Structure 1
Amino acid sequence: MTLGVGLVVLAAALLHAVWNALVKGAADKAVVLGLISLGHVVPGLLVVAAVPLPPIETVPFIVASTVIHWGYYYLLNSAYKVGDFSLVYPIARGLAPVLIALGSQIWIGETLPLLAWVGILTVSGGIMILAGGVFDGTLSPIAIVTAVGVAISVTAYSLVDGVGIRISGNPLGYIGWLFVAEIFVAIYIFCTRFERLRAVSMRTVVMGFAGGAISGLAYALVLYAKTLAPLGIISALRETSVIFAALIGVIWFREGPANKRLVAAIVVVIGIGIIAMVG
């Protein structure tokens, strides 16, 4: 993996933490998630108008990813209702790199060298340091279950899209139609919560839509990187977003002590260094 690809994924990690913080800080998280989905659709339309269609073989992957993202948004909304941002987010994102690396090895035969596994496990371990509420009773069982559900959904859509974009031969076309398909998520959320949508402020609408644009850019960068490097390695680097999220949790939401976050950041940086040595 080149330095350029690594920097692209780290930039995506920062953007990912920002949009998750926007969801956590929203009064009506479900409506904001609908706005975020809509924020994917608009740039998606611009992309599909400018690039060729992806091959028909990618349609099942786009459909599957859209359905999985639907479940992901539901679980994410549920998790943020019952747990602190800086505790739920590390569980969800800390488990994902290991699950994705295992899934990519089983599904597509993407075998990683031992050093890569050491780096991935180090990054995941550093992330899980932030999830101390799992062990000391701070986080409720339902919050833990929903956070694990988020991790499983992240693993599922990451594998589906990682394979789909590779066989497409047209990354921009795949990304564009994947984002356009999120119109179904937005329609469902808005039609079932129309009165709540009318009640939100214009500031919330702008914040949600902007969060969608940020989220879309973050995921597009990650998908592009997945065409250039193993899925497990890219996913581990992407989940460094948790360190950014932990800092946001401390500074923005006034959550928890800073010392644990510093230790976790150091461990994650060590893991990134090990991954960088894989080459």
Structure 2
Amino acid sequence: MTLSVFLAVLGAAAMHAVWNALIKIRLDRFLSISLMTIGMGVAATPAMLVVDFPQREVWTWIVLSTAIHTLYRLFLIRAYETGDLAQAYPLARGAAPLLTTIGGILLIKEFPPQVAIAGIVLLSAGTLLMSLRGGRKVGVFDRRSVGFALITSVCVAGYTLTDGSGARLASTASSYAVWLFVTDALWTLALCLYLRGSRVLAAMLPEWKTGIVTGLLGAASYWIAMWAMTRAPIASVAALRETSILFAMMISVFALRETATLWRAAAAMFIVAGVVALRLG
């Protein structure tokens, strides 16, 4: 992985943690995360004029990704409703790099370098340790939150492999990203109207500024990740993106006033070691 790709993914990780924190503090997380998704589509719409229209085979990946992203958001919301950010977020993300690595090896025959695999394991261990010792009560889980978070991690691995493959197949990563964001936004709006009725528009309107901010952050973050996946192993990019856990920890402590512990510091050391290994790999 080149230095430019490495630094870009780190920046994407920071943006990812910020929008997740913004979703956490909203009263209605379903509307908040839906508004963010619609905001991503709005942010991407002008770019439709300058990117290629996807080929027929690329649309298969876009539709599949839209379906997986929908499941991801629904289970992420439930994880946040039943657990705090410092626990639910790391657990939701922590198992995903390992699942992505296994999926990449089995499904697309992509084998990361041995040093990178070591980094993926270290980073995953750090995120899972932060989950085990990072919640409201040390070492205690809310079973529902754990279940929702683990299902979320499966969805993360699923859409990561899907979008990495789709971005590589498309003419450019930008083309794939733009049309994915617009398609996902239109589907999300339709789903909101179906589940909540027309009143959902009146509920979202006062929060349009938050939707724009989270949409821009989400779109920029994931576009960078998809671009990186065309230039480095998907599993390595997915793992490095999970450094967002470090940023989420800082947000949880300094912004959300959640408790800082030595366990979180130890977990952070594992994550940093994993980052170093990924860079070397």
Name the TM-score class by shorter chain. Answer: over 0.9
Identity, in percent, stands at: 34
> Greater shift after overlay, 51-60 or 88-97?
51-60
Structure 2 partner of 1:168: 170
Which aligned pairs between 1:2-41 and structure 2 lie closer than 5 A? 2-41=2-41
Task: Give the 3-state SS of the residue equivalent to 1:181 in structure 2.
Answer: helix
Count of residues in Structure 1 that have an aligned counterpart in Structure 2: 277
Q: What is the rounded CA distance, in whole Å, between the counterparts of 1:120 and 1:158 in structure 2?
A: 15
> Greater shift after overlay, 117-126 or 43-52?
43-52
| 1:242 and 2:242 aligned | no
Which aligned pairs between 1:1-279 and structure 2 lie closer than 5 A? 1-132=1-132, 138-182=140-184, 183-193=186-196, 194-195=198-199, 197-199=201-203, 202=206, 204-278=207-281
Task: Give the 3-state SS of the residue equivalent to 2:95 in structure 1.
Answer: helix
In structure 1, runs of 5+ residues without a counterpart are: none
**Distance apart, 1:197 and its partner CA:** 4.8
**Distance apart, 1:196 and its partner CA:** 5.2
- The answer to whether the 8 A contact 1:22-1:208 is kept is no
Q: What is the rounded CA distance, in whole Å, between the counterparts of 1:116 and 1:31 in structure 2?
A: 38
- The answer to whether the 8 A contact 1:76-1:150 is kept is yes
**Distance apart, 1:201 and its partner CA:** 7.1
Off by >4 Å, runs of 4+ in structure 1? 133-137
Q: Could you state the TM-score of these two structures normalised by the residue count of structure 1? A: 0.94
Task: Give the 3-state SS of the residue equivalent to 2:260 in structure 1.
Answer: coil
The alignment yields a C-alpha RMSD, in angstroms, of 1.7
Q: What is the rounded CA distance, in whole Å, between the counterparts of 2:23 and 2:119 in structure 1?
A: 30
Q: What is the rounded CA distance, in whole Å, between the counterparts of 1:57 and 1:27 in structure 2?
A: 40
- The structure-2 alpha-carbon separation of the partners of 1:221 and 1:107, relative to structure 1 and needing over 3 Å to count, comes to same
1:14-64 CA-to-partner distances (Å, cap 9, x unmatched) read 000000001001011111111111111112221111122122210100000
Task: Give the 3-state SS of the residue equivalent to 1:131 in structure 2.
Answer: helix
Q: What is the rounded CA distance, in whole Å, between the counterparts of 2:204 and 2:227 in structure 1?
A: 34
Task: Give the 3-state SS of the residue equivalent to 1:130 in structure 2.
Answer: helix
- The answer to whether the 8 A contact 1:247-1:261 is kept is no
**Distance apart, 1:137 and its partner CA:** 5.6
1:212-235 CA-to-partner distances (Å, cap 9, x unmatched) read 111111000000000000011101
